Amino acid sequence: MQNQLFIYNTLSRTKEKFEPINKGMVGLYVCGPTVYSDVHLGNCRTFISFDLIYRYLLHLGFKVRYVRNITDAGHLEGDRDEGEDKFEKKAKLEQLEPMEIVQKYTLGFHDVMREFNTLPPSIEPTATGHICEQIEMIKHIIVNGFAYEVNGTIYFDVEKYNSQYKYGQLTNRQLEDLVAGTRELNGQDEKRGRLDFALWIKAKPEQIMQWLSPWGWGFPGWHIECSAMSSKYLGNTFDIHGGGMDLQATHHTNEIAQSQACNHKTPVKYWMHTNMLTVNGVRMSKSAGNGFLPDQLFSGKHPLLEKGYSPMAVRFFMMQTHYRSTLDFSNEALKASEKAFKKIINGLITIKILTHNEDTASFDEELNSDILRLCSLCYAGMNDDFNSAITIANLFNLLKYINSFHHNILPLASLNKNSFETMKRTYIVFVEDILGLKEEKFFKPNLIDDVLEILLQTYKNAKEIKDYKTVDLIRAKIKEEGIIIKDTKNGVEWAYEE
């Protein structure tokens, strides 16, 4: 199965057969969140998509080192290496230390990722924890002649780099076009070229987040952290690098340039980019102010939401669309996904209790081969560039059969035991291990209280009509769970058995 996986590579703009550089370990690097604020649902889409990719690679039997960084320094308000530092700005606003901001939003991010049932990465390095590595890399780039210093700030020389390599390959753009689309330099600019970008930025004296470098006190530019951390943990050339499509043109383009300028190697074999989550066709983003926070979505407390949706229903909503297509948010789409998700989970509960007795002679050849065909189509979907939409459509086709067996519309005996076991294994593995979906017994926090209430009411009703058989049964069953029922002057009460 491993050698049938095809991945769309942004760099070559084609689907390529996945052949890992080193069979012993697949390297996967995903650009993580910038932790100066809460992640919104758009960010979650990207991280959930890569969770699906990671899970499938693991399922295929690859050993994967999955690195997802935390950006906790080096983000300025402006997109041209200018403006206030986002962490320091937020720290002032919330009257906290910048590193308290980092801690607060990192913990929040982890909570959200856990709610969406994403697997933790193997390594989660931070930019501030890798200042030395970034400085070392910048030193190499300067020695190789691709960067220059102005006043304690180091800029990458894009034109010089382009004379030896090709800048802008990821988006297939020519340097001249890129230059033409960028603001002209003015007298105040320190940069030599319009596309040059900062590797290291001189700090203002009042800045809290600054480190000593060979060029004085400063802080790293945003792009250098991912080049430094990916090469540290995955080597100078590794298998897969991912992130949202919005990172293609600048962040990832500059990562490629930095790595080549440093060690003359192409850093990544397969570049993968997830498409955007949109609201009414507009990309969800922090700056556009159209971002739902996951908590708002779960609670339903947002003007655009008609009700709340559980994390698994939202995860399923995302999986129903291929990661390279845009996904537009709407109440209708979410409601439909919630319904479909419940069907999938009911199927999971059903298939887990369904058992097949030994083979009889009466099995149906056509039925057996159709079920095996559907199982292999589940794999075909994921092997075709992780197309979970196709896989889910085939899980629904399997589900029709599962329900027919469950309701005895089709006799289980018409299926041979091997086909049955393949169907059962495929359904469970795809739903739980690969799509990462699970039953949400405790999503409704009051569910247990409500059910207990109903039980006590049934107990009272039974007593009133002197149905002592039911009364005793409820008493005995609930006692097994460590709860005793008390008949008091105030009515029926319950307590934990002491």
| Binding residues vs ligand AMP (CB under 6 A) | 31, 33-34, 42-43, 45-46, 243-244, 246-247, 274, 276-277, 283-285
The distance of closest approach from Cβ of residue 322 to ligand AMP in the complex, given in angstroms and rounded to an integer, is 13
**With CB cut-offs between 5 and 8 Å by kind, which of Zn ion, ligand AMP, none does residue 226 bind?**
Zn ion
How many angstroms separate the CA atoms of 238 and 145, rounded?
Answer: 25
CA 88 vs. chain centroid, Å, equals 27
- In Å, what is the CA distance from 429 to each residue of 178, 370, 375, 399, 416? 46, 19, 11, 14, 20
Burial label, 188 (beta-carbon count in 10 A; 0-12, 13-18, 19+): exposed
Piece in contact with Zn ion (CB under 5 A), picked from 24-32, 85-93, 416-424, 434-442: 24-32
The distance of closest approach from Cβ of residue 147 to ligand AMP in the complex, given in angstroms and rounded to an integer, is 24
Token code pair at residue 233: 């943990």
Given the DSSP bridges, would you call strands 277-279 and 327-329 parallel, antiparallel or unpaired?
A: parallel
Token code pair at residue 9: 């590579």
The distance of closest approach from Cβ of residue 37 to ligand AMP in the complex, given in angstroms and rounded to an integer, is 8
**With CB cut-offs between 5 and 8 Å by kind, which of Zn ion, ligand AMP, none does residue 440 bind?**
none
CA 212 vs. chain centroid, Å, equals 35
How many angstroms separate the CA atoms of 289 and 101, rounded?
Answer: 20
Q: Which is nearer to ligand AMP, 276 or 378 (CB)?
A: 276
**With CB cut-offs between 5 and 8 Å by kind, which of Zn ion, ligand AMP, none does residue 260 bind?**
none
**With CB cut-offs between 5 and 8 Å by kind, which of Zn ion, ligand AMP, none does residue 128 bind?**
none
The distance of closest approach from Cβ of residue 16 to ligand AMP in the complex, given in angstroms and rounded to an integer, is 22
Q: CA nearest 127: which of 183, 78, 86?
A: 86
The distance of closest approach from Cβ of residue 48 to ligand AMP in the complex, given in angstroms and rounded to an integer, is 10
31 binds Zn ion (CB under 5 A): yes
**With CB cut-offs between 5 and 8 Å by kind, which of Zn ion, ligand AMP, none does residue 258 bind?**
none
Q: Which is nearer to ligand AMP, 248 or 350 (CB)?
A: 248
- 3 state DSSP class of 51: helix
Q: Show Cβ contacts of residue 336 under 8 Å, excluding neighbours closer than 6 positions.
A: none
The distance of closest approach from Cβ of residue 42 to ligand AMP in the complex, given in angstroms and rounded to an integer, is 3
**382 in Cβ contact with 322 (< 8 Å):** no
Q: Which is nearer to ligand AMP, 144 or 285 (CB)?
A: 285
How many angstroms separate the CA atoms of 78 and 459, rounded?
Answer: 66
**With CB cut-offs between 5 and 8 Å by kind, which of ligand AMP, Zn ion, none does residue 121 bind?**
none
- In Å, what is the CA distance from 102 to each residue of 73, 211, 228? 9, 17, 20
**With CB cut-offs between 5 and 8 Å by kind, which of Zn ion, ligand AMP, none does residue 244 bind?**
ligand AMP
Across 245-333, where does the E strand assignment appear? 268-274, 277-279, 282-283, 327-329
How many angstroms separate the CA atoms of 99 and 89, rounded?
Answer: 12
Q: Which is nearer to Zn ion, 118 or 254 (CB)?
A: 254
Q: Which is nearer to ligand AMP, 191 or 283 (CB)?
A: 283
The distance of closest approach from Cβ of residue 340 to ligand AMP in the complex, given in angstroms and rounded to an integer, is 21
Q: Which is nearer to Zn ion, 226 or 423 (CB)?
A: 226
Q: CA nearest 375: which of 327, 437, 418, 425?
A: 425
The distance of closest approach from Cβ of residue 226 to Zn ion in the complex, given in angstroms and rounded to an integer, is 3
Size of the site for Zn ion (CB under 5 A): 2
The distance of closest approach from Cβ of residue 396 to ligand AMP in the complex, given in angstroms and rounded to an integer, is 25
Q: Which is nearer to Zn ion, 46 or 321 (CB)?
A: 46
Q: Which is nearer to ligand AMP, 10 or 34 (CB)?
A: 34
Residue 38's φ and ψ, nearest 5 degrees, are -65, 150
Burial label, 303 (beta-carbon count in 10 A; 0-12, 13-18, 19+): exposed
State the residue number with the nearest CB to ligand AMP. Answer: 244
Selected binder of Zn ion within 91, 113, 226, 257 (CB under 5 A)? 226
Q: Which is nearer to ligand AMP, 137 or 247 (CB)?
A: 247
Piece in contact with Zn ion (CB under 5 A), picked from 47-55, 108-116, 209-217, 223-231: 223-231
Piece in contact with Zn ion (CB under 5 A), picked from 9-17, 201-209, 218-226, 341-349: 218-226
**With CB cut-offs between 5 and 8 Å by kind, which of Zn ion, ligand AMP, none does residue 162 bind?**
none
Taking CB atoms within 8 Å and a gap of at least 24, the contacts of 282-290 are 283/42, 283/246, 284/40, 284/41, 284/42, 284/329, 285/40, 285/42, 286/37, 286/40
**With CB cut-offs between 5 and 8 Å by kind, which of Zn ion, ligand AMP, none does residue 276 bind?**
ligand AMP
Across 292-354, where does the E strand assignment appear? 327-329
Q: CA nearest 428: which of 314, 323, 351?
A: 351
**With CB cut-offs between 5 and 8 Å by kind, which of ligand AMP, Zn ion, none does residue 201 bind?**
none
**With CB cut-offs between 5 and 8 Å by kind, which of Zn ion, ligand AMP, none does residue 277 bind?**
ligand AMP
Q: What is the contact surface with Zn ion in residues (CB under 5 A)?
A: 31, 226
